Chain A
């Protein structure tokens, strides 16, 4: 059972889910190593982007998958902070169309992976 996008302790819950269970989430989930290499991506994110899973896995998320996040608003925060749980409005470019989303950036010393959750505003 996937927690809600806004759930308070989502990091704890989502980190206990295996890669298949991430598909239960209606919002996009990108699981990365601490150096931003994508370890898993769920079906919701695949459908949103129109990209295949291979376009994500083992790639650096900020430079090779989503350069739109490679700025101080997103990538820099992951680099700068060891503890991170922040939600910001953002615009992704799914299929080259500007798409308003909410991004929830999650990182904790307690877990080996970090997460980026993507919730489309119009969904």
Chain B
């Protein structure tokens, strides 16, 4: 009977011990000088990396290089019991790894006893840091968008002025000087005989020849000018189209409305934005759109930003690589069998990569010089926010790379 009672007490004791020991928060009891009297397993696990001596005897010493002076707080706390600290963030620098962060709570239990609770919040702090970078980037992006919007507006006004002038010149079908010369030439030909008797045949012929050549030269020049004006009008129209596309995306940065549009249209818009870079690098674009009508729902500017970013990654891959063949980007779209998701594969024949593709999506990781490693991280977040997937594949160095985007198909309204 006694044995059974003792055994039962031992079991309860062990259960309590295990409960405290495995509680996923560090618990310590210290005295007013910081000496540690009791601690659980997590406390040892958290504090040992901070110990320079391999011992855990005094908490004030262990936390002496952090941003909280615990001894001062304890010394200055007048009340006999109560909370000294509640969920205060504590940053601890470690000699061999990144700093860790703890949430620290200190409770005074009696004159000489303090309960300290610490939980590891390093993951949350890292997430906050990432969010902060994202917000900063977003603000930067918006600032750039505002500037770009104003610049595009000014360029648009100037281009409209140029277009109006060119069209006015094109509308002037006949120059009055040329018309006058034609009439003078006709009059000379009709009055050839009297002119010959007055001026002489040689002079009359010379004048007529001169007039004919002058008229022909003027006509040719007018034709040439018209041709150039037509070319200029086309260029102005093209610039206006590009500006219209750019302004469409810059304009909706602020509101980010969700719209339904064919994926192929977004791809074409992204290509038109990058036309200058494509022509400069002599990159050819091949298209294999197997389903041009597949539409997606999302923020136009967000999705185009992703596509432009992926195109630029391909350009920069070409720039970094000594190309044996002409640089080429192949764009393929396809749908799954039940037509619920559309897949875009953007393949290039550039430098490719050998690293784990997942690494390329990590914040701060980039293969490019002068890159902050936010591009692909942000792209993936944008695609994921549209319930899609973005991933990269490559057969290795020098074997090109493929960016895959999969998005849910959304039927357009009214179809």
Q: Chain A interface (Cβ within 8 Å of chain B)?
A: 50-52, 55, 64, 66-73, 88-93, 95-98, 100
Knowing that A71-B49, A90-B48, A100-B54 are A-B contacts, what are 15 other residue pairs whose CB atoms are under 8 Å apart, sorted by A's residue number?
A50-B17, A51-B17, A66-B41, A67-B41, A69-B45, A71-B45, A72-B49, A89-B54, A90-B54, A91-B51, A92-B44, A93-B40, A96-B38, A98-B57, A100-B55
A73: chain B residues within 8 A (beta carbon): 48-49
Q: Is the CB of A98 within 8 A of B17?
A: no
Q: Which of B203-237 contact A (CB under 8 A)?
A: none
B242 within 8 A of A: no
Q: Is the CB of A93 within 8 A of B41?
A: yes
Q: Is the CB of A91 within 8 A of B56?
A: yes
**Would you call the interface of chain A mostly helix, strand, loop, or mixed?**
mixed
Q: How far is the CB of A116 from chain B (nearest CB, A)?
A: 14
A55: chain B residues within 8 A (beta carbon): 14, 18
Output the nearest chain B residue to A91 by Cβ-Cβ distance: B56
B270 within 8 A of A: no
B391 within 8 A of A: no
Q: Chain B interface (Cβ within 8 Å of chain A)?
A: 13-14, 17-18, 20-22, 24, 36-49, 51, 53-57, 96-97
Q: Is the CB of A91 within 8 A of B48?
A: yes
Q: Is the CB of B48 within 8 A of A97?
A: no
B46: chain A residues within 8 A (beta carbon): 71
The complex places the Cα of A71 from the Cα of B55 at a distance, in Å, of 16
B37: chain A residues within 8 A (beta carbon): 97
B17: chain A residues within 8 A (beta carbon): 50-51, 95-96
Q: Is the CB of A67 within 8 A of B55?
A: no
Q: How far is the CB of A86 from chain B (nearest CB, A)?
A: 13
The complex places the Cα of A91 from the Cα of B42 at a distance, in Å, of 11
6 nearest interchain CB pairs? A89-B54, A68-B44, A68-B41, A91-B56, A68-B45, A67-B41
A90: chain B residues within 8 A (beta carbon): 44, 48, 54
Q: Is the CB of A89 within 8 A of B55?
A: yes
Can you list 10 pairs linking A and B with CB atoms under 8 Å apart? A50-B13, A51-B17, A55-B14, A64-B22, A71-B49, A72-B96, A93-B21, A97-B37, A98-B44, A98-B57
Q: How far is the CB of B93 from chain A (nearest CB, A)?
A: 14
Q: Is the CB of A67 within 8 A of B57?
A: no
Q: Is the CB of B54 within 8 A of A88?
A: yes
The complex places the Cα of A90 from the Cα of B49 at a distance, in Å, of 10
Q: Is the CB of B14 within 8 A of A72?
A: no
